[in-house]
Amino acid sequence: MKIVVCVKHVPDAAADRRFDDSDHTVDRTGVDGLLSELDEYAVEQALTIAEAADDAEVTVLSVGPEKAADAIRKALQMGADKGVHVSDDVIHGSDAIATSLVLAKAIEKLDYDIVLCGMASTDGEMGVVPAMLAERLGIAQVTLGSELAVEGSTVRIRRDGDVSTETVEASTPAVVSVTDQTPEARYPSFKGIMAAKKKPVESWTLAELDVAPEQVGLAAAWSSVSATQMRPPRTKGQIVPDEGEGGVKLVEFLAAQKFV
């Protein structure tokens, strides 16, 4: 069983995230980056599947700038076997469409039965890359699993849709994405942290993936941002302590706003 987990290095959601005024891309300077929390669930599922299989290998794949190596390292510390880091200056500003192209080309160079992804990144939050990968790779899309089970060559998820809950099944190879309803990710152990130092991480450039520089980056994006604007902070309204009449006061406010 060969598993490729796609991970993204993202700016910390707790930090003050902003856009670069010159090109409207995410400004990463001065903001700590980390392995996207939602991708940790995918790493955890990959490790769980690998532990149950006889002969399994988990490869962590990330496309991103130099710092993305930190996200790969974290996944290796958790227990993944090896890493692949696709990095190229021209990738900066790529949209989901270009990102999915680079990921798909890299995945095609690797051996895989299952491609595992998180449900979305915590910065772009589009949540479309797994579906795009399945489309590009021409394999089954088994996405947004709140539970994942792998038996032999069958993958099965529980998908909580907007109006119904579905059980979805496919044979490998498949692109699988998992939600934060799957079990919490493990913390790297001391042993894991030490072991990760010896695990191989390959660095690939676009040339090795047969992706032309014109196919990626901000200039190649199929959509363009004309403006970004910070939302004015909400102004703090009236706060009252409950001295026995809190509920009545609340409704008085709602009535004044015509909600009651």
List binders of other proteins among 92-151 (CB under 8 A).
95-97, 100, 119-120, 122-123, 125-132, 134-136, 138-144, 146
Q: How far is the CB of 39 from other proteins (least distance, A)?
A: 12
Give the separation between CA 137 and CA 143, rounded to whole angstroms. Answer: 15
Rounded CA-CA distance 158/146 in Å is 6
Q: Does 229 bind other proteins (CB under 8 A)?
A: yes
Supply the minimum distance, in Å, between the C-beta of residue 67 and other proteins.
19
8 A C-beta contact, residue 28 and residue 123:
no
- Using CB under 8 A, which residues numbered 179 to 198 contact other proteins? 179-181
Binding-site size for other proteins (CB under 8 A) equals 84
- Phi and psi of 174, rounded to 5°? -150, 150
Binder of other proteins out of 166, 187, 191, 212 (CB under 8 A):
166
The reply to whether 212 sits near other proteins by the rule CB under 8 A is no
Question: What residues from 28 to 87 belong to the interface with other proteins (CB under 8 A)?
Answer: 38
Q: What are phi and psi of 82, to 5 degrees?
A: -150, 165
Whole-number minimum distance, CB 71 to other proteins, in Å? 18
Q: Would you put residue 34 in left (φ > 0), alpha (ψ -120 to 50) or beta?
A: beta
Binding test (CB under 8 A) with other proteins, winner from 29, 30, 190, 234: 234
Cβ burial of 150 (10 Å; 0-12, 13-18, 19+) is buried
238: contact with other proteins by CB under 8 A:
yes
